[in-house]
Every structure is written in structure tokens, then in C-alpha cells.
Amino acid sequence: MSRPLWLKPPPFPGGLLTKARTTPTHRAAGPGRSGAVLANLYDLAAVALVGSVVVALAIGVAGVVAPLSAIQGQAVSLDPSLLPGYAVRSVLRMLAAMAASLVFTLTYGALAAKSRRAGMVLIPLLDILQSVPVLGYLSFTVTFFLLLFPHRVLGAELASIFAIFTSQAWNMTFSFYQALRTVPRDLDEACRGFRFSAWQRFWRLEFPFAVPGLVWNMMMSMSGGWFFVVASEAITVGDRQIALPGIGSYVALAIQQEKIGAVGWAILAMTIVILVYDQLMFRPLVVWSNGFRVEQTAAQTIPRSWFLRLLRHSRVIHVAARPVELTMRHLFRARLLNLVPASGSTDSQPGTGRLLNLAWYLSVGVAVTWVVSIIVRYVATEIGWSDVGLTLTLGSLTLLRVTAMIVLASLIWVPIGVLIGLHPKLAERIQPLAQFLAAFPANLLFPFFVIPIVRFHADTDIWLTPLMIVGTQWYILFNVIAGTAAYPTDFLEAATTFRFHGWQWWRCALLPGIFPYYVTGAITAAGGAWNASIVSEVASWGPDHLTSHGLGAYIAEMTAAGDYPRIVLGIAVMSAFVVLFNRLLWRPLYAYGERNCRLD
């Protein structure tokens, strides 16, 4: 029987290397010379790989502290030899945004899941945040960051990183929130029996339980960052234009100049970069997260990672990571936040509960009314009710496209995701391909859509819609894979014992187990589709510019014109559509999953 890893000190980060102490190769490395040579080869390979990554990061960081005039006076070039440097700069921005997204996820998701009053505000706010297009953030943050670091590249870099952060953080937060809300009750009772503090409970139960889904959503977030890297690196707001060195700026210039060959070089560079960080980062994380499955029977097939094996066999890496591992182990064992009950929400005390709830509801109502009044006053200074009616109509058209794409993506990717999740060896082969397809920017598909539409005079409202699914389907696929991979092996064996087949197997065994993960994927997919509408409803290739009728095209047009009142109106209407859609459909499904689809 597998050991309950969530009741031991969590093995991150040093625990990634703990198997090196018991591997046969490492035991044999003592007295014999051949064992020592083998261990030295592991050391050399590991140090060489890690050193190469550090050098690449150092080269990329060096450009961040340069003056802003350095990039304004040096235009982005389509020379393929410059792509490796551009790729390093793009990956650096995405990794910085990923680190910020992870910190945001752990704090925001935990607060929303543990406090009922906080969740009433934070979850609708998260719905709004994920629906705001990247261009909407850039419209207001570029000036702020440039003023924060005047005449320095760092200001523009932070604006780009923040824009990428907005395309990564939301699905990770939803995944973490869903995991915390569905922690099995028997494990919760075990934590209370051990009298864990809130800090210990978080790091020894809740975080490990959320790890499998969180890792797959981090993978999706990294790919989502590529999807919007063009908008975040080639910044255009009003008359202000800044092109940061990176693959996104390279792609934007290639599309503008109709250089299909340059687009091909960019795709090749993206493919290589995705394969590298998949093998060096995500594949080891998938292998590590497999140890946190909730099951009583060990899986017959487990995922593997050559890079993780290399690190575990390297004595140099193990010795270097030992101080970090000991520090983290002592930190996670500390009885911090011991004043907070570990059994549930911190705001459910009897007697004062009703009074506190009433005060909280009034405070939230006043705050929402105040924000809405500010938006209305700001928008009313420049526009009239006709613009409001127009945005509502355009929002309805975009809603139809989003709904159609969610249904289509679910029908296609739920069965495929289950197939991949049930076969780790297949997942090992598919994982890099799925990341590449999820990272493929819709901008690179523009020539394949614009040219036929112009030639055959096709309806843009119909034929530009498939561009939206490029940024929609992968949220569903990755979450279904995560849910299937985390599904207990003993449950599958029980379904086999009871001779479940066909639709009965799906209805009684698998679909209830992956349902919370699917809802998380569908919510983030819907938000991603709304966000992608700014790209999918407007397509350009050289002198040809196509626009479909929708709210995304409206926001993109107003952003290019620098019309801030209409930008605010478009974002506000889009946020209202998303919040209402989530409140009426996805939240009831979330509640159903929490009640009836727990692994208890």
C-alpha cells in the first residue's frame, strides 16, 4: 500500500532529489572506481545543464537594466540568428510571470477557499479579472510602469511581465481553489487528529493534494503566456509604441511585413524552447506530483523523467540542495498560525456570525455601488446610451461564439484527455505536443484564415470564430488530464471488478471523479475565450484587415485608437457577461461537484 505522503513533510524543493539516497547506482558509487566514475559523469552532466540555464538567464537579465533608449533606437530584426537571444528574453518574462502567478495562486486561492466571506468577493472578482483582455491591462499599466522606472527598460519589462501574468494566474488559482474545496474528509479528520496548525495543514495536506492539478495548470499557464506574448511584447497604446526584444515582437513584425519564412523560423524557435522547458521543468514536476495521488493501491505505471533521474544521481546537486531542503523541512514543520482552527473556515463563530455577515454584506454592497458609480460617471463624460446598447449587442454575439467553442472543445477533448491521463507513457509522449499546440499563438494562423476569406469573400463572423478555440480548448484538455491522472487506481480496479463498461463506466466511475477538474477547465476556458476574442475577432495579414462583429473587436479597436472611456465600457460589459454566466451556470456546477464528486 502506498504511504500517505501528504502527512509527511512535503518534499518540495529538496524532496525532488531524495531518491538519490536509495538508488542502486548511488549505493554502488562508494568503494568501486567504476561507480565513482559513473557518479562523476552524472555530476558533470547535471552541472553542465544547470550551468547552461544559469548562463542563459544571466544574459537575458543583463538587458533588463539597460536604458529605454537602447531598445527604442534598435529595431527588432527578422534575422533568424537573433532568435535564440529573443527566445531567452521571452522565456525569462514568462518565468517571472509564472513565479508571480504561483505566489498569487497560493495566497488568493487559499483565502477564497478558507473564508466564506472573502470567497463571496474574491471569486466573482477572479471571474472579472480573468475576463479582462490583456490589451485592457496594457492600456492602463504601461504608463504606470514606465513612470515607475522612467527611461529604463525595466519599466517596459514589468509591463510585459504583468500582461503575461494576467494570462497565467487565473486558471492556476481556480485549480487550487477547487482542490482546497474538495479535500477528502478522512484526510481532514486525520489532520485534526494530529492537531496540525493551519500552517502545517496547508503544507502537509492541502498543498500536496492540490499539486497534481496545479502542475498541469502551470503547464497550461506557460502555454497561455505564449498565446499573448505578441500583445505583451509589441506594446501599442495610443501613440506609444514599444517593441521589446523577444519572439512576440519578432512574430508581430513578421506578420506586419508578410514574411511567412520569418513566421516559420519563429515557430521553430518556439518548438525548441517548449521542448527544452518541458524536459527540464514540467516533466520532472509531473513525475514528482505523481507521489501525491490519493489512492490505496499503487499505480502499475508511473511517469518518468530523465532529467529528474540525472539530478537524483548527482552528488553535487544533492549536496547543494541539502541546506535548502533542511530549511524548508523545518519551516513546513513549524507550528505557525496556530491560533486559526484547522477544521474549517475562520469566520464561522456562533453568536456574532449573523451580525458579522450583515456588516460584511453591507460593506461589499457599498463598495460595489461606489465602483459602479465611478465607472458610470467616467464613461458618461464621453459616450451615450447608444454606445452602451452597441456593446451589449456585441457582447451577446461574442457570448454565442464562446458558448459554441466551449461545447465543441468539451466534446472533443474530454475523451482524449481521459485517454491520455489513464496512460502515463502516452502522456509522456503527448505532453510536449500538447504544450506546443496550446502555446501556438492565433496570430500565426492569420495568413491561413485571412487569405482564403479575402479570396472567397467569406463571412468573417463565421470563419474567424475558429481562431477563438485556439485559446479555449487546452484549458479543458489539461484539466481533464490532471483529473484523470489523479483518479485513484483502486477506484478504477473497483469499476473493473463490478464490470462497468461503456456509458456505465463513464457515468458511474470516471465522470464523477474528474467532474470538479472539468468545471475548473471549463470556467478558465470560457474566460480564456473571452480574452482571446480580442485576437480572434480581429485578424490582419499585411494590408488586409478583417474584423468580425463582437466585443473583442470593439475593445481592440478602441485600444488602438486610445479611446479610454470606450475601453472601460467594453471591459465593464465583458466582465458583466462573464460574471453573470459564471454565476448562473458554472458556480452551481462547482457546488454540485463539491457536494457529490469528492474522493471520500
DSSP per position, 402-464: HHHHHHHHHHHHHHHHHHHHT-HHHHHHHHHHHHHHHH--GGGGHHHHHHHHHHHT--HHHHT
Inter-residue contact 122 to 541 (CB < 8 Å): no
Q: Which residues contact 93 (CB under 8 A, 6 or more apart)?
A: 157, 160, 161, 164, 229, 232, 233, 246
| DSSP bridge pairs for 547 | 538
Q: Which residues contact 135 (CB under 8 A, 6 or more apart)?
A: 231, 534, 555, 556, 559
Neighbours of 131 (CB within 10 A): 25
What is the domain partition of the chain in residue ranges?
63-301+361-596
Q: What is the DSSP letter of 236?
A: E
Per-residue pLDDT, 314: 82
Neighbours of 143 (CB within 10 A): 15
Question: Is the Cα torsion angle 90, 93, 97, 100 positive or negative in sign?
Answer: positive
The three cell numbers of residue 337 are: 498560525
User: What are the DSSP E strand ranges found in 478-525?
Assistant: none
Peptide bond into 124 cis (omega under 30): no
Per-residue pLDDT, 30: 44
Residue with cell 520569418: 262
Per-residue pLDDT, 177: 92
Per-residue pLDDT, 308: 86
Per-residue pLDDT, 40: 66
- Residues 393 and 396: their CA atoms lie apart, in Å, by 5
Q: Report in angstroms the alpha-carbon separations of 19 from 280, 300, 315, 354.
A: 18, 19, 12, 52
Please give the helix or strand (H or E) that residue 362 lies within, else none. Answer: helix 353-380
Per-residue pLDDT, 39: 52
| DSSP bridge pairs for 501 | none
Residue with cell 471520500: 600
Per-residue pLDDT, 345: 47
The three cell numbers of residue 64 are: 533588463
- Residues 316 and 363: their CA atoms lie apart, in Å, by 56
Inter-residue contact 93 to 232 (CB < 8 Å): yes
- Residues 313 and 306: their CA atoms lie apart, in Å, by 11
Type of residue numbered 198: A
Residue with cell 525595466: 154
- Residues 45 and 391: their CA atoms lie apart, in Å, by 57
CATH code reported for the domain at 63-301+361-596? 1.10.3720.10
Q: Report in angstroms the alpha-carbon separations of 264 from 256, 277, 395.
A: 14, 20, 35
Exposed / middle / buried, residue 78 (Cβ in 10 Å: 0-12, 13-18, 19+): middle
Peptide bond into 13 cis (omega under 30): yes
Q: What is the mean pLDDT of each run of 10 residues along the chain (600 residues)?
A: 41 48 41 48 79 76 67 73 88 91 94 86 83 66 79 81 87 91 86 86 91 89 78 66 82 81 88 88 88 67 81 82 84 70 47 72 81 76 82 92 90 92 83 77 67 79 79 85 85 86 88 90 86 77 78 84 81 86 86 79
* φ, ψ for residue 235, nearest 5 deg: -85, 125
CA 497 vs. chain centroid, Å, equals 37
Residue with cell 507550528: 335
Per-residue pLDDT, 518: 93
3-state SS class at 339: coil
- Residues 164 and 323: their CA atoms lie apart, in Å, by 33
* φ, ψ for residue 237, nearest 5 deg: -135, 110
Per-residue pLDDT, 22: 38
Inter-residue contact 166 to 129 (CB < 8 Å): yes
Neighbours of 69 (CB within 10 A): 11
Strands 240-243 and 538-541: unpaired
Neighbours of 31 (CB within 10 A): 7
0.85 exceeded by the pTM?
A: no
Choose among 98, 97, 83, 93: nearest CA to 247: 83
